[in-house]
Amino acid sequence: MQVKLKERLKKAMLISREGNQYLTASRFWRLYEEDKPCCALVIRSAAGLVHLLAQLLEPFMLSFSREVFFTTLGRERRSLTSKKTLGDSAS
């Protein structure tokens, strides 16, 4: 099976772009003052998007992925692209 890294990167960047548009359109900074439950939903969605992007971009930006998983999960996570743990210094 041939991995199409260029296509994977394009798709990840498209998801990133769509996520940025979602955040901008939601005006979460206004929602924070006007509708906190709705703002919380937007922020949870954004956090989920960051987690997804960390997984998709792992082959391209390993240090970004490590930081996201350490910050959001508070623990080590198995790498999607290798059998090593993202916290391993040899990865």
Residue ranges per structural domain of the chain? 23-91
Task: Give me the pLDDT at residue 37, please.
Answer: 93
pLDDT of residue 89: 46
pLDDT of residue 57: 81
Q: What pLDDT sits at residue 4? A: 78
pLDDT for the residue numbered 52: 85
- Which pLDDT score, from 0 to 100, does residue 78 have? 53
Q: Which long-range contacts (CB under 8 A, 24 or more apart) does 58-67 make?
A: 59/5, 59/8, 60/5, 60/9, 60/12, 62/86, 62/91
The predicted pLDDT at position 51 comes to 82
Segments of the chain scoring below 50 in pLDDT: 1, 86-91
